[in-house]
Amino acid sequence: MAFIEVKNLTHIYGQGTEQEFCALRDVNFQIEKGEFVAILGANGSGKSTLARHLNGLLLPTEGSCRINGLDTLIPKEVWEIRRQVGMVFQNPDNQLIAGVVEDDVAFGPENLGMEPEKMRQQVDAALKAVGMTDFRLFAPHLLSGGQKQRVAIAGALAMNTNCLILDEATAMLDPQGRREVMTLVEKLHQERGMTLVIITHFMDEAAKADRVLVMEKGRLVQSGIPKEIFADAPRMHQLGLAVPLAVELAWHLRKDGMNLPDDIINDDDLIAALEDGYVH
Ligand SMILES: Nc1ncnc2c1ncn2[C@@H]1O[C@H](COP(=O)(O)OP(=O)(O)O)[C@@H](O)[C@H]1O
Ligand SMILES: [Mg+2]
């Protein structure tokens, strides 16, 4: 059984009203436990709608969405799904609700009715894991965007979440904040085997994933390893998407007759290929 199983998922907003809008159409995919998947797609392609299905914030109009064998359509399973799947959204200012960092991280465990002693341990461990122990008594508004997102991630860790979904969670951050958040989630993925789903417009982030899914107008139109997906730069452009800068540059250099390997995906690959051909 895959960790995430999305079958024939269709989502219609405002069904039966004049504003009825079909945001997801017959979407099918699976994500294995411990996999790192990036979801790409132009604005309005249905990425956020899809993300909200993955922890039961939205329910299927048709089809189904199962997380670790739990079905979002079964009301009593939704709480366990929300515990297992942590969501981090775009705007860091909308995520933290308590007046002090550690209270914010404790919010989830408290709602689960965790014993106070156990809760304290969970909160301390979660703050440590995201490198925010020193800020535990800070008011969230004093933190940088990257720090706020890390606290949001700690909130999920404190509930022993085993899957993180980041819906453009780095979009509003400065480069340093982006790096902090990506380094953290990659570490959680690598060291704890957490299942990681990131929705992003940053192609260098997507290039690090095990697999890339591409959405277009509510449909899932591509699924493959980053090298395959980015190899077809014209198709990506047609879908309203960029490719990583290194891929774009390699594509132009090949077009100009330079003999470069066809699996260049990031700066390091490109540098290595150029050094092989031109220095040695
Ligand atoms: N609450 C809503 N009510 C009606 N339409 C919505 C709602 N949320 C999103 N949509 C529409 O559904 C489509 C997909 O939106 P969304 O999932 O947010 O896309 P993305 O995250 O890829 O930008 C868009 O056309 C959007 O306008
Ligand atoms: Mg979105």
Cα 231 to averaged position of ligand 2 atoms, centre (Å): 25
pLDDT for 9 equals: 98
d(C-alpha 66, C-alpha 98), whole Å: 31
| pLDDT by residue, tens only, the chain of 280 residues | 999 999 999 999 999 999 999 999 999 999 999 999 999 999 999 999 999 999 999 999 999 999 999 999 999 999 999 999 999 999 999 889 999 999 999 999 998 889 999 999 999 999 999 999 999 999 999 999 999 999 999 999 999 999 999 999 999 999 999 999 999 999 999 999 999 999 999 999 999 999 999 999 999 999 999 999 998 888 999 999 988 899 889 989 998 999 898 889 889 999 999 988 765 4
| Closest-lying ligand 1 atom to the alpha carbon of residue 199 | 21
- Residue whose token pair is 């780095």: 170
Q: What are phi and psi of 245, to 5 degrees?
A: -55, -40
Contact (Cβ atoms closer than 8 angstroms) between residue 213 and residue 220? yes
Cα 55 to averaged position of ligand 1 atoms, centre (Å): 17
Q: Which residue from 9, 27, 49 has its CB within 8 A of the most atoms of ligand 1, so it is best to mutate?
A: 49
Core vs surface per residue 203-212: b (16+ CB within 10 A) or e: bbbbbbbebb
Q: Which residue from 17, 18, 21, 217 has its CB within 8 A of the most atoms of ligand 1, so it is best to mutate?
A: 21
- 73-84 residue pLDDT tens: 999 999 999 999
| Closest-lying ligand 1 atom to the alpha carbon of residue 43 | 23
84 lines ligand 1 (CB under 6 A): no
Q: Give the homologous superfamily in CATH for domain 4-225.
A: P-loop containing nucleotide triphosphate hydrolases (3.40.50.300)
Cα 116 to averaged position of ligand 1 atoms, centre (Å): 40
Question: Which residue has the CA at smallest separation from atom 12 of ligand 1?
Answer: 23
d(C-alpha 155, C-alpha 153), whole Å: 5
Cα 88 to averaged position of ligand 2 atoms, centre (Å): 12
Nearest Cα to Cα of residue 195 among 68, 78, 80? 68
pLDDT for 242 equals: 87
pLDDT for 279 equals: 52
Mean pLDDT of the chain: 95
Break the chain into its structural domains and give their ranges: 4-225
Cα 279 to averaged position of ligand 1 atoms, centre (Å): 50
* β-pair partners for 27: 9
Is pTM beyond 0.75? Reply is yes
Q: What are phi and psi of 82, to 5 degrees?
A: -65, -30
145 lines ligand 1 (CB under 6 A): no
d(C-alpha 6, C-alpha 71), whole Å: 10
